């Protein structure tokens, strides 16, 4: 018993501590190194992060370099098979092209309508930042389905940005280095994408299942899917704000759903064949302001302020005008009233003048009559005084007013 | 081929294969839906069990770091599992008097089960990874079954380079 324990200890010690001819470190020290690496990985130290990023950059590019021969062989094989299938593919493509042309017009109209409607409900997103990247590594790990792309923080890539192959969703950026980034594919079990099933409009979460398919989770009313006979399309719902709504992902496999209890989604894209991908982030249209637009925005703002000021001035002027008009109206009415008064006054004046004249005439007549009584005999023509004047003649009147005929010298 | 070239190939082929399999896109995980295996485990265990110097612990440590970076795992986890695999292989080499492929094979199974247990536990507990156990089980079974095949191939290759007497 004692001997076997000694043997075990010797064997363990030998395994852990003995260095071979070429070994510079014992196993134990390297295991400790690994554990230190793991522990440091849990903490966010700047120096550790820089070193880790540097190691990652080196390994990504060396991995890409090592992959070049294999990629070349793969490409060559694909090219040869493409040549063999060329004519068949041509016929298929020709038919598809015709069908697609027909659908394209319809799609354009629907897209415009969709944009208009989204704008109405304030859910219209436009691309904020976008970049195209080459896939450096798409090695499938047993733990993580991800790809490494050749764009990093230097190119404006940020964690959480959506990654597309054409218009189809591929995944999201989960790790950003200076020159490279890692994209978590939606086929990974850790990927959780909020989705909508169209046309039945069911909400849920899509998680990765295997390379070509995903599994729907947290779906209420599963019977709607299972009893359905239409083609069901899975698109992003936009919940959570990471992905915009309406990005196509795949179709629900009705056959699998009938066999298994799992709700399986077949992806539109084959993630093992990715070569180039598009990375982009989205913002709502009304806050899409880049540097060049900012200047225009500022100018527009100042113009708007000026216009607002002018509008205020105009408003003041309008009020002034109203007041002026009121004053003018009052003045006019006053004027009219004064004119009327004037006319009345003139009338009165003319009447009074007339009366005055009449009175004067009357007075003259009265004076004439009085003088006539006194001096009528001196002016009246008779047999004895034929040189005098006849009654009611102007000479007679002048004679009366003169109080008798004028004496001749 | 002269002896020095043969010895060079004998010495560095395992390391070359290890790094190539880790850095290259020759995927051992994606070709078939329910079949995958861990080539690095087989290579490291076999050569550390059969050769005194093995592949070289530093190279294995670096290869582990490479594997972590390429596969997007926390850095150090593969190095730790590879080095623990080396430990198990070295221990077996020390206690074994009469080598037997079947015993090696069973020991390999126990070792990779323990290693995967450590790896999964670490990933789940500290990094909140969600793991598809069905795929992992398929990977372990595939690795276990192919150990036998690859050990024949490696032995044949070594015999070819050094001759059966060695």
A174 found inside a domain: yes
Domain final position from A288, A306, A334: A288
A24–B contact, CB cutoff 8 A: yes
**Closest residue to B76, CB basis, from A38, A142, A189:** A38
Q: In this predicted complex, what is the ipTM?
A: 0.78
Cβ of B61 within 8 Å of Cβ of A30? The answer is yes
A254 found inside a domain: yes
Q: Which domains does chain B carry? A: 3-162 (1.10.1760)
The whole-number average pLDDT for the span A17-45 is 73
Condensed to tens digits (0 to 9), the pLDDT of residues A282-319 reads: 776 654 455 666 677 677 777 777 887 888 888 888 88
| Nearest chain A residue to B82, by CA | A31
Q: Looking at residue A161, what is its pLDDT?
A: 87
A71 found inside a domain: no
* B109 has a pLDDT exceeding 90: yes
**Closest residue to B70, CB basis, from A59, A174, A210:** A59
**Closest residue to A190, CB basis, from B19, B88, B130:** B130
Q: Looking at residue B113, what is its pLDDT?
A: 94
Q: Looking at residue B144, what is its pLDDT?
A: 92
- Range in A305-309, A330-334, B117-121 with the lowest mean pLDDT: A305-309
Same domain membership, residue A309 and residue A183: no
Alpha helices (runs of H) in A380-390, residue ranges in sequence order: none
Q: Integer distance in angstroms from the first to the last C-alpha of chain B?
A: 17
Q: Which of B53, B116, B38, B55 is nearest to B84 (CA)?
A: B116
Query: Could you tell me if B83 and B64 are in contact, meaning their C-beta atoms sit under 8 angstroms apart?
Result: yes
Tally the C-alpha atoms within 13 A of residue A235's C-alpha that lie toward its C-beta: 14
| Mean pLDDT computed over every residue of chain A | 80
Q: Looking at residue A109, what is its pLDDT?
A: 72
Same domain membership, residue A207 and residue A183: yes
Condensed to tens digits (0 to 9), the pLDDT of residues B41-54 reads: 999 999 888 877 67
A13 found inside a domain: no
Task: List chain B residues with CB under 8 Å of A73.
Answer: none
What is the residue whose two structure tokens read 């527009």?
A300
Per-residue b/e over A27-57, b at no fewer than 16 CB within 10 Å? beebbebbeebbebbeeeeeeeeeebbebbb
CA distances from A367 to A190, A352, B69 (A): 135, 21, 143
Per-residue DSSP letters for B32-92?
A: BTTB---HHHHHHHHHHHH-SSTT-HHHHHHHHHHHHHHHTPPTTHHHHHHHHHHHHHHHH
The whole-number average pLDDT for the span A31-35 is 85
* B100 has a pLDDT exceeding 70: yes
CA distances from A21 to A10, A18, A31, A309, B54 (A): 19, 10, 19, 88, 10
Per-residue DSSP letters for B101-138?
A: HHHHHHHHHHHHHHHHHHHHHHHHHHH-----HHHHHH
Q: Looking at residue A409, what is its pLDDT?
A: 44
- What domain count does chain A have? 2
Q: Which of B55, B66, B64, B72 is nearest to B24 (CA)?
A: B66
Best to test chain B binding among A34, A171, A179 (most B CBs inside 10 Å): A34
Displacement of CA A236 from its chain's centroid (Å): 21
**Closest residue to B58, CB basis, from A25, A42, A146:** A25
Q: Looking at residue A256, what is its pLDDT?
A: 64
Structural domain range at position A359: 289-409
In this structure, is the dihedral angle defined by the CA atoms of residues A106, A112, A117 and A123, taken in order, positive or negative?
positive
In this prediction the pTM is 0.58
| Nearest chain B residue to A49, by CA | B75
Q: Which two three-digit tokens encode residue B51?
A: 């050769």
Condensed to tens digits (0 to 9), the pLDDT of residues A146-195 reads: 888 888 888 888 888 889 888 888 898 988 888 888 899 988 888 888 99
| Nearest chain A residue to B28, by CA | A140
| Nearest chain B residue to A184, by CA | B72
Same domain membership, residue A322 and residue A218: no
In this prediction, residue A376 has a pLDDT band, given cuts at 50, 70 and 90, of confident
In this prediction, residue B111 has a pLDDT band, given cuts at 50, 70 and 90, of very high
Domain final position from A260, A288, A316: A288
In this prediction, residue B145 has a pLDDT band, given cuts at 50, 70 and 90, of very high
Domain final position from A239, A257, A288: A288
Best to test chain A binding among B11, B22, B25 (most A CBs inside 10 Å): B25
CA angle in degrees (0–180, nearest 5) for B103-B35-B83:
50
């Amino acid at each position: 018993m004692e001997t076997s324990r000694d043997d075990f200890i010797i064997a363990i010690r030998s395994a852990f501590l003995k260095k071979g001819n070429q070994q510079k470190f014992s196993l134990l020290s390297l295991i400790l190194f690994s554990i230190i690496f793991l522990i440091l990985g849990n903490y966010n130290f700047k120096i550790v992060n820089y070193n880790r990023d540097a190691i990652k950059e080196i390994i990504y590019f060396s991995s890409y370099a090592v992959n070049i021969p294999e990629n070349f062989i793969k490409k060559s094989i694909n090219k040869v098979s493409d040549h063999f299938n060329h004519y068949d593919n041509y016929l298929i493509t020709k038919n598809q092209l015709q069908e697609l042309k027909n659908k394209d017009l319809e799609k354009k109209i629907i897209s415009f309508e969709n944009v208009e409607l989204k704008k109405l409900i304030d859910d219209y997103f436009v691309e904020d930042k976008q970049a195209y990247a080459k896939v450096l590594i798409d090695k499938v790990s047993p733990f993580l389905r991800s790809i490494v792309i050749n764009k990093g923080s230097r190119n404006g890539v940020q964690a959480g940005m959506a990654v597309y192959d054409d218009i189809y969703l591929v995944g999201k950026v989960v790790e950003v280095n200076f020159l490279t980034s890692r994209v978590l594919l939606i086929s990974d079990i850790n990927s959780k994408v909020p989705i909508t099933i169209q046309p039945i409009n069911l909400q849920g979460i899509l998680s990765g299942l295997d390379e070509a398919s995903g599994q729907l989770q947290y779906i209420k009313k599963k019977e709607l899917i299972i009893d359905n006979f239409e083609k069901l399309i899975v698109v992003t719902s936009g919940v959570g704000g990471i992905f915009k709504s309406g990005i196509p992902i795949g179709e629900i496999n009705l056959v699998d759903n009938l066999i298994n209890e799992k709700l399986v989604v077949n992806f539109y894209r084959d993630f093992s064949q990715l070569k180039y991908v598009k990375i982009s982030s989205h913002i709502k249209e009304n806050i899409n302001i880049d540097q060049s637009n900012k200047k225009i925005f500022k100018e527009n703002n100042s113009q708007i302020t000026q216009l607002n000021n002018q509008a205020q001035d105009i408003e003041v002027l309008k009020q002034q005008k109203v007041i002026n008009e009121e004053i003018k109206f009052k003045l006019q009415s006053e004027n009219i009233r004064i004119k009327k008064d004037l006319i009345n006054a003139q009338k009165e004046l003319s009447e009074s003048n007339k009366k005055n004249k009449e009175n004067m005439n009357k007075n003259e007549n009265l004076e004439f009559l009085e003088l006539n009584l006194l001096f009528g005999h001196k002016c009246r023509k008779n047999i004895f005084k034929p040189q005098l004047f006849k009654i009611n003649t102007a000479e007679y009147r002048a004679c009366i007013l003169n109080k008798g005929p004028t004496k001749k010298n | 081929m002269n002896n020095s070239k043969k010895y060079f190939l004998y010495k560095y082929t395992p390391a070359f294969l290890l790094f190539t399999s880790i850095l290259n896109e020759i995927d051992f995980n994606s070709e078939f839906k329910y079949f995958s295996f861990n080539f690095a485990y087989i290579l490291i265990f076999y050569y550390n069990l059969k050769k005194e110097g093995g592949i070289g612990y530093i190279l294995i440590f670096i290869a582990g770091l490479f594997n972590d970076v390429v596969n997007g795992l926390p850095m150090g986890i593969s190095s730790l599992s590879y080095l623990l695999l080396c430990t198990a292989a070295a221990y077996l080499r020390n206690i074994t008097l009469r080598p037997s492929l079947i015993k090696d094979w069973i020991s390999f199974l126990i070792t990779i089960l323990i290693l995967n247990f450590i790896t999964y536990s670490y990933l789940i507990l500290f990094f909140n990874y969600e793991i598809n156990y069905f795929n992992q089980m398929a990977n372990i079974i595939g690795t276990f079954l192919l150990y036998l095949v690859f050990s024949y191939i490696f032995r044949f290759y070594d015999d070819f380079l050094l001759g059966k007497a060695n």
